[in-house]
Amino acid sequence: MKKKINVIGLGYIGLPTAALLSSKGYSVYGTDTNKHVVNIINKGKTHISEIGLNKLVKNVVKKGKLKAFNEVKPSDIFIICVPTPFNQTKKIPSPNLEYILQASRNIATVLKPGNYVILESTSPVGTTKKVRDILADNGVPVEKIHFAYCPERVLPGKILNELIENDRIVGGLTSLTTKKISNFYRTFVRGRVHETDAQTAEMCKLVENSFRDVNIAFANELSVICDKEGINVRDVISLSNHHPRINILEPSTGVGGHCIAVDPWFIVSRDPINSRLIRTAREVNNDKVKWVINKIKISAAKKKGKRAKIVCLGLTYKADIDDLRNSPALEVAEKLYKLKFDVVSVEPNISKHPFLKILDFNSAIKDADIIAVLVKHKEFKSPRIQKKLFDLGALDFCNSIINF
């Protein structure tokens, strides 16, 4: 008989995980504090946009394999997938673990010997032990519970496929736990499941996203330097990448999302003295947004000043998704709007914004003074659109389109 699973947190990772496990024959409870989210899921619908997720949720809910609740139900396996935002009130942003700690307190009343407690939320080193300690403080016999950390490695737009195909890392607080929980993941993961300890697994998740952040920062810093020198950074990167051991990434408006823009701070806040490069990369990528805004303001000053009509192409944090979390493109558009510029946006993946005007491409560019390419959506890469942008002298901050 398969174990019952409880997925705590039904967001961008939790809901796909719960739906996937349900489709593999497990009986799954999904737990979320948001009543609207619970009601939507129990109707067989979803509150997030992800390829294939609507159909999968509808199917598993109809079969009775996935049920959502606001209260935690007794289960055999508890998977914590709650958010881990960061506090920005200090000079060095620090992780906010309250969602994880509250989830731990919530499951304390239903845990029983032999249960698995798996933390998937991105966490600073030592958080899995903190979960165990919180539960111990709440009277749970933690020596009889198996605790492990297993970070997700997924790409928005491909989450369901990547949950199955990507390698996973499982780090338990004991070697026995690592074995048991690794074997659980092997029941639905086709990629390799690598076994380690909890602290190593926690660090791996942070290192993976910090590595990407550092490499993006190099490209973004290079784009600023080349702009000052009057050199086309696209040509520099393309030619440099012909070296057999060079692979420079593309510059961008900045770095956003819930991972790369956040996770490096978890390392920096824990060890600020020895994480100078990681911190600098974060600052470089954050500063790129300010640079983009300044370039647009300079261009506007040469035209109509505050009366200039500015078209922002793309608002999401990366191409071809509808996710606005920590989006540098959205920050650019919103700040220009607050500076009293006439701002309109073209965002194929969302239909409305609280105060930004979103139009179709042709309506937006009519009488435009400045067109800023902020996100490399596929809709902006067609030859017709690229030629139009080139003819209109668009400011390309993606540095990878408008090739005429």
Query: In the numeric block, which tokens belong to residue 319?
Result: 């191409």
The dihedral sign for the CA sequence 293, 268, 321, 246: positive
> Given phi > 0 = left and psi -120 to 50 = alpha, else beta, which region is 192?
beta
Instruction: For the chain, give the number of residues.
Output: 404
d(CA 324, CA 279): 23
Instruction: Tell me phi and psi for residue 300, to 5 degrees.
Output: -65, -40
205 is catalytic: yes
Please give the DSSP secondary-structure letter assigned to residue 143. Answer: G
Query: In the numeric block, which tokens belong to residue 29?
Result: 């409870």
Bridge partners (DSSP) listed for residue 171 = 149, 196
Q: Are 277 and 243 in contact (CB under 8 A)?
A: no
Contacts for 2 with CB less than 8 Å, ≥ 6 apart: 25, 26, 27
DSSP-assigned states of every residue in 121-146: S---TTHHHHHHHHHHHTT--GGGSE
Pick the catalytic residue: 205, 288, 309, 318? 205
Query: In the numeric block, which tokens belong to residue 150?
Result: 């297993």
Pick the catalytic residue: 81, 150, 259, 398? 259
> For residue 140, which of 113, 173, 117, 100 has the smallest C-alpha distance?
113
d(CA 270, CA 273): 9
Bridge partners (DSSP) listed for residue 28 = 5, 66
Q: Are 328 and 334 in contact (CB under 8 A)?
A: no
> For residue 374, which of 336, 320, 318, 324 has the smallest C-alpha distance?
318
The owner of tokens 């947004």 is 289
Query: In the numeric block, which tokens belong to residue 45?
Result: 């619908």
Active site residues: 205, 259
